[in-house]
Amino acid sequence: MFEAYITNTALYPLMGIEVGTTVHFPTTTQELQAALAKIGIDGKRYSEVFFTSFDSDVLGLYDYLYECENIDELNELGHALLEVRDKGGLETFEAALVLGNHT
């Protein structure tokens, strides 16, 4: 439904390079853990994830996603959007996003 480029901001000052990867939402626990491990997020020494970009086929969704989102909540959103799509309500959801952004 959407994807995000996640980075480990703690490693940038240490290594001088961006350490990041793309995560496709919704995802499985195993895929999410693998993505976090890939960027050095271990939950102990490094735990902060920063989102540098989002891409989505859902019209208007990008405007509501921010750099410091909770990764688990984003995954829940991905699952919820799949359910909305499967029930045929994605266009209505998109309309609500677009209208909500302009009122």
The 10s digit of each residue's pLDDT in 47-91 is 788 899 999 999 999 889 999 899 999 999 999 999 999 999 999
The 10s digit of each residue's pLDDT in 8-58 is 888 877 777 778 999 999 999 999 999 999 998 887 777 788 899 999 999
**Which residues in 57-73 are b (16+ Cβ under 10 Å) and which e?**
ebebbeeebeeebebee
d(CA 6, CA 34): 12
